[in-house]
Structure 1
């Protein structure tokens, strides 16, 4: 820690803002927004702020994250307790928010989950899907999120949004990613219903779990949450689970995903979807288009992170490996979209 604090956090300014001395450490593992553990007076807190530099329009909106976890506090969806949102960029150089720290484990590797055994791994995966079904069952109007997004045209806007972010994050030619974008745009499916609260990046390593895997204590990283088609959450989860967590992607573990999935002894993606439906999730039809969208999104996110790395705007190690991800993600996405095209 420097005198001013870890990278991206000015402790002297933050201490003045909070009116108490602050100690802070960067929480490793995040590849987008930066997350810090704070001890401020007698409070044990977590601070979230956008990444350093190259912040794309509509991305990394701290106010939206703070609003959604505040709204979900009284629902069955476990979230950290929201404490304070600060839109004033002069405090630490960017907007940020504070939440109470939640004790538990973030499972990021098979080394962590192997001791659980097959039965508890299965139970954890099922609880993960129960929680996602609970999120999609929340009525936005009932928790003050009726204006949190526009469900109509959500999937078309997703393709357009991630296409725009790709164009703003280019450091090299990406013809296969461009081809996947064009084929997604030409085959957008009809919406599945009136819209739901969509997390936008739901996966096992965005959850705080009891160390024995018995319960999910908090869902984290709400930066892409909105109102939209819940099948997008399922498609992205299957991309993490079956594509990056499957036997064909062992080399991808630890880059955009921890690689936790069937390769690490967890149930298949099909088992997860069956559990989701049994837990009261939305009707699920073919998910190939949504998996292709998930592959496209992760390819764009990887390129954005790699672009920030080339500009020296990342904090931590291993960011150079994001250059490897566009190829395998795009190949799987193109295979998935081919089944939609007939």
Structure 2
């Protein structure tokens, strides 16, 4: 841990705020470090030498509208914590931007491993890898079985016209970060709009559901789902499409992006889709569209990160390589639609 203030977090102000809002919570001097691996919101591990917490805040500088809403993240984990869906226990939300330059929230620190690469999974062996990935699908089924109104999230989103709005939203996000030519991305957007499927009944959706956004315990079960910044009420198959995309996209050399494809024991995408279908009872015959949409969405997210990198507004290593991998996701999205 680093006792100095990490970028974007003032530990003196944080301590004063915690002492005021949660007297007795903190027992010693705070130290913190930026947790590497995230591509968007900033995440810090904070400790007083005895207890540990996690602090989340938006990125520095250029922030895409609605994409970094700490209030929404805090609200959804607060609603889901009493359910069977594994999420960290929320500690507090601070909406006073004077504290850290942006709203932030504090949650419990959960012990677990975020598996980001096929190499990390290879260490635990084929049998455990299979169990971990299937647990990821089963946990998604559990999330999608939660009654939103029953946990106070009945107004968490507008499910009607969800996919159309998602396409429009991500198109706007692309325009907000467009600083160069990206061949094929407008074609992908247009083709997705033309083939819009009919959505099943809405659920709480995570919006960025993948293996390195969960913490896996020593028993190979999911201990916590993290990074709820894109959560809303909408089409649950968008989350499944993300799992498929992250499980099949090719590993790109030196690219700082998760890919578990190729790990020994990793279930194939057909098995993952079938596992979800059997657990949820939903029709998954149109999953190719959702997978192509996942490729489009990730291309836009990565382009936004590349744009922030060009402005000198990213923290951590590997961001210099993000821009070079965006075209591969555009091409994969177009190929997935063509093959469907």
Q: TM-score, normalised by structure 1?
A: 0.92
The residue number in structure 1 matching 2:314 is 314
Choose 231-240 or 307-316, whichever is displaced more: 231-240
| 1:84-104 residue CA offsets vs partner (Å, 9 max, x unmatched) | 000111001110000000011
In the alignment, is residue 233 of structure 1 matched against residue 239 of structure 2? yes
Q: Report the Cα offset of residue 63 of structure 1.
A: 0.4
Q: Report SS of the residue matched to 1:290.
A: helix
Q: Structure 1 stretches (4+) deviating beyond 6 angstroms?
A: none
Q: Does 1:271 align with 2:295?
A: no
Q: Please list, as runs of the form range in 1=range in 2, the aligned pairs for 1:96-135 lying within 5 A after superposition.
A: 96-135=104-143
* Change over 3 Å in CA distance of 1:201–1:80 after alignment to 2: same
Q: CA deviation at 1:53?
A: 0.9
Contact 2:2-2:33 at 8 Å conserved across structures: no
Inter-CA distance 149–253: structure 2 relative to 1 (3 Å threshold): farther
Tell me which residue corresponds to 2:217. 210
Matches within 5 A, 1:71-150: 71-150=79-158
Whole-Å separation in 1 of the counterparts to 2:238 and 2:72 = 19
- Per the alignment, residue 188 of structure 1 pairs with 196
TM-score (norm. length: structure 2):
0.93
Q: Residue in 2 aligned with 1:220? A: 226
Structure 1 runs not aligned, ≥5 long = 244-248
Distance in 1, Cα, partners of 2:240 & 2:15:
41
> Aligned Cα RMSD in Å?
1.7
User: CA 1:325/1:303 → structure 2, altered by over 3 Å: closer, same or farther?
Assistant: same
2:114/2:215 contact within 8 Å kept: yes
Deviations, residues 112-154 of structure 1 (Å, cap 9, x unaligned): 2223221111111111111000001111011000000011100
Contact kept? 1:137, 1:280, Cα under 8 Å: yes
Please state how far the C-alpha of 1:110 moved relative to its aligned partner: 3.0
Whether the 8 Å contact between 1:241 and 1:260 is mirrored in structure 2 is yes
Equivalent residue pairs, number = 332
| Distance across 2 between alignment mates of 1:119 and 1:56 | 40
Q: 1:40: Cα distance to partner?
A: 4.0
How far apart, CA to CA, are the structure 1 residues paired with 2:16 and 2:304?
Answer: 33
* Partner in structure 2 of residue 15 of structure 1: 15
Aligned-residue offset at 1:265: 4.0
| Structure 1 residues 14-53: aligned runs within 5 Å | 14-19=14-19, 21-40=29-48, 42-53=50-61
User: Shift of residue 105 of structure 1?
Assistant: 1.1
1:198 matched residue in structure 2: 205
CA separation of 1:265/1:251 partners in 2, compared to 1, >3 Å: closer, same or farther? farther
Q: What is the CA distance between 1:255 and its match in structure 2?
A: 2.6
Deviations along 1:25-49, one digit per CA (max 9) or x if unpaired, are 1111111000001114753100000
